[in-house]
Chains A and B, each alone.
Chain A
Amino acid sequence: MSDSNSTGHSSLSPPPPGSRRSPSPGGTSVSTQIALRNMRRLEARRNMEENHYLTQKARNCNLNPPVDLRALDYVSKYDDNLVCPICRCPLVDPVLLMDCDHCFCRECIRQTWTTYSPLGPKGDCPTCRMPAKLGPRASTSKILVNILDDLVVKCPKSENGCKSEIKRGEVQDHITIYCGYAMVECKDSGCGQSVRRKDYDLGCLHYNVSCESCQQNMPKAELETHWQLQCPDRQVKCDLCSSLIYYRDREEHRKEACPAVNVPCPGAPLGCTNKSRRAHLDIHVKGCVLAKLGPVLDAQKQRMDEQESAHKLINRKLEILETGFTAMQDILSANRSGPPDNGSTETLIVPSRSRAESTATDSTRIASADDYDFPVPPSNRGSAIEPESPPTTNTTRSSTTPRTTATPRSLTSPPLRPAPQAPFPRPTDLPPPTTTDFDLASPFSTTAPGADGPYSSPLHHLLSMHESLRDEMARVSAALTELDGRHSMQILNENLRTRDEIAYLGGQVAGMGRQVHWLTSAQLQRQTPGGSAAAREVGTGASAGGGGAGGSVEGAVNAMSTAATALRGAARVVNVGGGQGSPTSPGMRRGVSEEGRTKL
């Protein structure tokens, strides 16, 4: 308090030199003085706010200490986002940190930050560790404050008997103004002690009495509390049933046990409106149909709920099965109109490659048409089961490997084969199945020749075949992509090497060109006395007087040009192969050939 006063003063009047923060020798500039003054003004404002807060806190704490909002029992459920991360209670006087916007109780952040700066508390955000501070008016939006104030809490005097539940924002008022269990000054002005508000009108109660049950001495004002909470012996008569009960158990007795209290019939939820004393309830229950029915109906309700959930599950299953079935039918009908070679194969073990390919293409079609992972009801061929078929239960799975001999092929073909004959055959319509057909039916023939079994097992068989085919397809496509990648890599490597070679050849040709150039110039110099005639001789191909030297030059030039064309051809080949020729080599080549040409 005194601190704030002094600084408050100093901002108004020139401060005494000793209190200055910076040791400013006489000639400090005006600007620093202004800055200092602003600093002090801010500081003063900050201190004023602090003091306001403190005085508010200290207000009225003589009789009823201010309510600690953190110690309250919350009746209403509150959102987790309203909880201060430090004290884990719904925020009390929330403040928002500057820069990071995290929210805490003012009190909590004050306790967390031990260092103070002149411009207010400052430190790292306890949640995100960012350097943060409280703004000059660090508070949060009114909305948040209102939400917090609307939380319903129990009166802090509930232990003493107050039963009110109030909004949190009104708790303080409730205590200071209304609550009957809050303390007020005694009516007797000479007494100077406090008394509960509801007992205020009874006059001064501050004389000693002794508890009639346990003989303890205490002021009259505290007698009831004593009975309620401590006294081990105090018994009273229940005013309804006139039985002796402990004073502290009064409420419970009335609620749970007192035979004179009117209670509703246990059949009340079923519609019985009767209310009778707890003691006579038995008599009523004996005659009440609804009360008797109660437990039975409850059990039935429970069972019904169970059945309902089970029914829902079954319905869902049925739905899925039905969609699967229709899809299966679609596939089968599509097969009937499919390529003729599907139906024409009579033997299932087809060694030829082409047969395998045709089934493969077909299976892809099936796989693409069949997008669900659920068992699809089979065509009715399930009933056409032959007992003598070998029980090769595992063959369905073995068909997953793409290159395993004939077994997978023999397994993949059957679903396609009979389709053209009877797309949706009733079991009776089926043509007598051949034994080979029964590679398909074999896995389940052992399981269910009975009435309803066969439907599920061929179905699974077909499904697993689809699965395996799909797996196979995936594997083949993966292998293809891998091959493709490897191939392109190889081409790239080869291309690189060729390009290197060409570059090397180009370099050599250039070197040769330089040599030729040197040779021709040497020749020319030798013939300088001949002047322009000699030059002409060289220009026309050195047919006349050039002699051996001219001839050799011409030969070299010719060799050069052939080399250049060969190179160009090679480059073209590489360009075609690689798609992109090296941009330097054609230019260089042209340069060489042009050089040769000019020399000619």
Chain B
Amino acid sequence: MAANKRIMKELGDINSQPPAGCTINLPNESDINNWEVTMQGPPESVYADGHFKIHVSLPKDYPFKPPGISFKTKIYHPNVSNDDRGAMCLGMLRPDEWKPPNKIKDVLALVRTVLAAPQPDDAVETGIAEQFKNDKAAFENNARDWVERYAKGA
């Protein structure tokens, strides 16, 4: 109950003041534990023109367990796994790092920051991370290409 209440609160909060470049909706109105966020790529990054669908799943005991973030839109990024899950690796979301006072809003803001500034040292896709470190131009080309291919649909 308390969890629901808090999720409702956060949902209301986020709808009244949505964080920059994000729109939130519930794919299933009766299920407030699964959010779908459409995030615009941060301006002045290689993802600037893309619209990325992100699935946020809130566990039953939400503020005490971290939410899960997964990209539904394919994205060429060292910190997002390049598979069906599109899992994103964020330090903040690790179970031992998670703090109940963190809000979804903060998480989304962090996701956007990581989009703008990839962290190759903390990568899921090591290949992309290597490329990001050694051959930035090629990385940017690839990323733009992927944005063009996958993230323009929305």
Contacts and interface: CB of A to CB of B under 8 A. Distances in A.
B91 interface: no
A86 B100 contact: yes
Interface in A54-110: 68, 70-71, 85-89, 107-108
Interface stretch (B4-12, B38-46, B77-85, B140-148): B4-12
Interface string B99-118: 11101000000000000000
The prevalent SS among residues of A at the interface is loop
B99 A87 contact: no
Contact of A112 (B5, B9, B10, B100): B100
B122 interface: no
A127 interface: yes
User: Which of A70, A88, A108, A112 gathers most chain B CB within 10 Å?
Assistant: A88
A142 interface: no
Interface residues of B, number: 13
A294 interface: no
B108 to A, nearest CB: 16
A544 B75 CA distance: 107
Contact of B61 (A68, A70, A111, A126): A111
Nearest to A127: B101
B50 interface: no
Contacts of B63: 86-87, 108
A158 B128 CA distance: 57
Interface string A232-272: 00000000000000000000000000000000000000000
A107 B61 CA distance: 13
Nearest to B7: A88
A85 B5 CA distance: 13
A349 B22 CA distance: 63
A68 B1 contact: yes
A129 B1 CA distance: 26
Contact of B10 (A70, A88, A108, A127): A88
B64 interface: yes
A19 B72 CA distance: 56
Nearest to B98: A126
Interface in B1-49: 1-2, 5-6, 9-10
Contact of B101 (A68, A70, A86, A107): A86
Given A70-B1, A71-B1, A112-B64, A88 B99 contact: no
A111 B5 contact: no
B10 A126 contact: no
A70 B2 CA distance: 7
Interface of B: 1-2, 5-6, 9-10, 61, 63-64, 99-101, 103
5 contacts: A89-B9, A126-B99, A126-B101, A127-B101, A129-B99
Of all A-B residue pairs in the complex, the 4 with the closest CB atoms, nearest first, are A85-B101, A86-B100, A126-B100, A88-B9
